[in-house]
Amino acid sequence: MTQSICVIPARMASSRFPGKPMKQLLGMPLIQHVWERCQLAKEIDRVVVATCDQEIYDCIVNAGGSAIMTSDTHERCTDRVAEAIDNGNFNLQDDDLVLMVQGDEVMVNPELLDDMVRLYKKKKAPAINLVSRLYNTEEHDDPNVVKIVTDLEDRIIFLSRSPIPSRSRSATIAMYQQTGIIAYSSSFLTEYAEIPQTPLEITESIDMLRLIENGIPLFSVKSEVETIGVDTENDRKRAELFLEKDTTTSRYLNIK
């Protein structure tokens, strides 16, 4: 039976928003919101936070969760996740699933996480990325937002900071952005770090292009609801408003 482990990488030393995992939204730290929401997924066997900061570790443990301390030298989330898997003694098999949910994905939907696990069990794909709908053309044009396009089977064809697909011939074309929620087979998570960086990955500064350029299948699960990665104080304020209206929030937090 396939085991599914959710790892949430988080650190205080964010260059754009220092200390963001402990920023308060509706009276709860950001990182705890993400952990609480992942805990609600039915297809996940265990949720653990991977961090190099004692403050984050204590927050999760005090909330009744599991956390693993990692090195403070990691530049990439996947490296932190890989270390947490090694340190956690999960005894994963090659086809077990490691679901990475970046610690700023505050609107993560547990039902969509379940969809990712089910798709993995069906496809046994090396990697699956959750993508979310974009409704704002300004975000579609924003180079800080990574856009994606897929084939007819929801396999990702390309990722770019440019506005893809083009709106020049259709103003109603569906637009999607990449999120920091990616599922890997246990074996591929180990292999990924050994694959050299690729030209388009370097040009676009998008890790997942390494898979595309090497012909490695990268599937997607699509969310028609916008997700919010908290990178600024304005993001935090916007996310707080979304959380207050979101039905998932009331499943773990009493909203007055």
pLDDT in tens, 138-174: 999 999 899 999 999 999 999 999 999 999 999 889 9
**Any domain includes 256:** no
* Banded model confidence at residue 252, pLDDT cuts 50, 70, 90: very high
237-247: pLDDT as tens digits: 999 999 999 99
pLDDT of 256 reads 63
Q: Which residues contact 134 (CB under 8 A, 6 or more apart)?
A: 140, 145, 147, 175, 176, 177, 226
**The residue to which tokens 């207050």 are assigned:** 244
**Any domain includes 150:** yes
Backbone φ, ψ for residue 7 (5° rounding): -115, 130
* pLDDT, mean over the chain: 94
pLDDT of 47 reads 98
**Any domain includes 50:** yes
Please check the confidence at residue 2 and state whether its pLDDT lies above 90: no
**Any domain includes 38:** yes
Query: Do 79 and 7 form a contact (C-beta atoms < 8 A)?
Result: no
Give the domain range for residue 95. Answer: 4-251
User: Domain total for the chain?
Assistant: 1
Query: Do 198 and 206 form a contact (C-beta atoms < 8 A)?
Result: no
186-207: pLDDT as tens digits: 999 989 988 999 999 999 999 9
**Is cis: bond before 126, omega within 30 of 0?**
no
Global pTM value: 0.94
pLDDT of 184 reads 97
Among 145, 180, 138, residue whose Cα is nearest residue 161: 145
Q: Which residues contact 120 (CB under 8 A, 6 or more apart)?
A: 2, 4, 97, 128, 183, 185
CATH code of the domain containing 141: 3.90.550.10
Please check the confidence at residue 43 and state whether its pLDDT lies above 70: yes
